Structure 1
Amino acid sequence: MNLASPAEVKKLLEDIGVRPNKVLGQNFLIDRNILNKLISAADVSENDCVLEIGGGLGIVTEELVVKAGSLTVVEKDKKLAHHLLNKYGDNPKVEIIHDDVLKVISRPDWPEKEQDYNKVVANLPYSVGTRLLVDMIQSQSRPQLVVVTVQLEVAERFSAECGAKDYGLLSIWSQMHYNVELVKAVNNTCFWPKPEVTSGILKLELMNEGQPSPETARGVYRLTKHAFSHRRKQMSNILRNCIDDFRIEPEVISEIFEKLGLSVSLRPQNLSVSDWLGLTQAIMEVKGNG
């Protein structure tokens, strides 16, 4: 079975009894070159425990099975999960889970209950891409490497640099934990059915050093979420009217910004990831939470 052939993919889906669901973001990868780019960027070896999300018909799965030490595939569609189970159910290093991945990774006993994983490799359904990546980033058990296809607009927001038009919450939250790279834009003709949007291969590689403490990370999440809801305002005004944990007096704001070498007239999108970390830590120290 050639899973890169639109005709064969369509026939297999008919045999299984699946009609691609736009709500679930079911667009099946059918381009071998893009598949190779995805797999190459993940650099999977027998030392890796891999999580695949949205296994679909298995075009990514069949590559990961050969390379990974163990593979867990989470598939929400019952018929597709059954198809994958029929194909890989006898393989001792593969586990197929029929469930919603957003529910699976939010369980208190995940990933301990299932096979642990250090890499996530997937052609992500458009419907869950952003939320899933944010959940992983904000988790205390972050994977070492994430390589996924997502909507190009989403990939650009994660990988944007300070000052760019796409720079915002996703950029800051991901880049304070990961080195983030937009590996390649992916044309919509590489999928069937053809989506209305362009995709991109996004790579997040966990930084070995410089990880913020859990308390600082939570502070950055909260402070930036508030600040970017007022992104047209200057930081001095934002902090004077901030959420209770971070509200500080004007003279203290000036002292903190001067110490950090920053101007109080800056807007949220003009602060780099390191600026946000330094600002959050400084405010937490002033408020007695650092």
Structure 2
Amino acid sequence: MQNDETSAGPRLLGPADVRRLAAELDLRPTKTLGQNFVIDPNTVRRIVRIAGVGPDDVVVEVGPGLGSLTLALLPVVSRVVAVEIDPVLAGRLPSTVSEYAPGVADRLEVVPADALRVSELPGAAPTALVANLPYNVSVPVLLHLLETLPSLSRVLVMVQKEVADRLAAPPGSRTYGVPSVKAAWYATVSPAGPVGRNVFWPAPNVDSGLVLLERRPGGARDPADRAAVFAVVDAAFAQRRKTLRAALSGWAGSPAAAEEALTAAGVDPRARGEQLTVDDFARIAAARPTITTFGAS
């Protein structure tokens, strides 16, 4: 039998609830931890709906804060593993869930940790990541979890709009860069809608956006190749105004060696990094062992 929270929907946190909880904890949101708490129930409902998660999913939530999104997820999924770096918030979250959604409180597991240092999580392998990521570490956290948790098949994150645009940018666009390519290594990436400033407390000085990532079927890419490909990506965009022949000269050993690798990969040495797909970068990385060693030129 379904519990009341599952059938009728959970009690979600509104502005008064968030401010009450913050006052109880004597909490002053900090920019250091990127703390902006969602105060709009419709926003968290929308996030859960777009994420497409269901009763078979084990969801990782990074930065649950006071529990706004957590409360919307718990009635829908099998389990939520909430990773929270702030010990005060991590300690309070189970009590909040027990108060607002007692019928599904047993689905919550809180991991008091820095998401950037997480290498594994307790229990069944997670299938999805759904989170309002702290703005100051959103891309590193996203890429770290995609790497360390290969069981994640679906990701929906809320990030600063500028970051959302970069993650979902196609090759050739002005915002295409390192985050775009590295995210595409793991998944297909698409924008999933804007989020206004007034749904947060305190309201940030920037707009937000949702980004949906769907893992490539079968894991597609060999994890052993990741470091080699990412090294090429980093080199190509470190000097993005230069041609790839020049930008990759340090990576390859010389401009001539870079040109040979690019030619072997079927990439024009005169092209620039923002014109290439992740598959182009993978071919360049694979071509490197075949190149001849040249002296510096």
Normalising by structure 1, what TM-score? 0.86
- Kindly provide the amino acid, as one letter, of the partner of residue 277 in structure 2: S
* Aligned twin of 1:274: 279
**1:65-102 CA distances to partner (integer Å, 9 max, x unpaired)?**
11111111122222222221223478333211222222
How many angstroms apart in 2 are the aligned matches of 1:140 and 1:64? 20
1:140-219 correspondence to structure 2 within 5 Å: 141=150, 143-209=152-218, 211-219=220-228
What is the aligned-residue identity percentage?
A: 30
1:242 to 250, 253, 260: 250
* Aligned twin of 1:134: 143
- Structure 1 residues 114 and 101, CA, compared in 2 at 3 Å: closer, same or farther? farther
- Structure 1 residues 140 and 126, CA, compared in 2 at 3 Å: closer, same or farther? closer
**1:185-223 CA distances to partner (integer Å, 9 max, x unpaired)?**
111111111001111111111010572222322211111
Indicate conservation of the 8 Å contact 1:3/1:57, yes or no. no
Normalising by structure 2, what TM-score? 0.85
Indicate conservation of the 8 Å contact 1:136/1:142, yes or no. no
Indicate conservation of the 8 Å contact 1:72/1:115, yes or no. no
Secondary structure at 1:130 match in 2? helix
Structure 1 residue 140 displacement after superposition: 6.2
- Structure 1 residues 24 and 215, CA, compared in 2 at 3 Å: closer, same or farther? same
- Structure 1 residues 3 and 185, CA, compared in 2 at 3 Å: closer, same or farther? same
* Aligned twin of 2:231: 222
Secondary structure at 1:231 match in 2? coil
Structure 1 residue 36 displacement after superposition: 2.3
Higher helix share: 2
How many angstroms apart in 1 are the aligned matches of 2:264 and 2:290? 13
TM-align CA RMSD: 2.5
How many angstroms apart in 1 are the aligned matches of 2:132 and 2:166? 18
- Kindly provide the amino acid, as one letter, of the partner of residue 207 in structure 2: T
Secondary structure at 1:19 match in 2? coil
Structure 1 residue 126 displacement after superposition: 1.7
Q: Say whether 1:98 aligns with 2:104.
A: no
- Structure 1 residues 193 and 249, CA, compared in 2 at 3 Å: closer, same or farther? closer
Q: Say whether 1:49 aligns with 2:49.
A: no
Unaligned runs of 5+ in 2: 1-9
- Kindly provide the amino acid, as one letter, of the partner of residue 287 in structure 2: A
* Aligned twin of 1:116: 125
Structure 1 residue 56 displacement after superposition: 1.5
1:78 to 87, 111, 119: 87
Q: Which moved more, 1:198-207 or 1:85-94?
A: 85-94
**1:239-270 CA distances to partner (integer Å, 9 max, x unpaired)?**
3x223xx33672x6555544544321111112
Secondary structure at 1:128 match in 2? helix
Indicate conservation of the 8 Å contact 2:11/2:71, yes or no. no
Indicate conservation of the 8 Å contact 2:15/2:40, yes or no. no
Unaligned runs of 5+ in 1: none
How many angstroms apart in 2 are the aligned matches of 1:202 and 1:47? 22
How many angstroms apart in 1 are the aligned matches of 2:219 and 2:153? 14
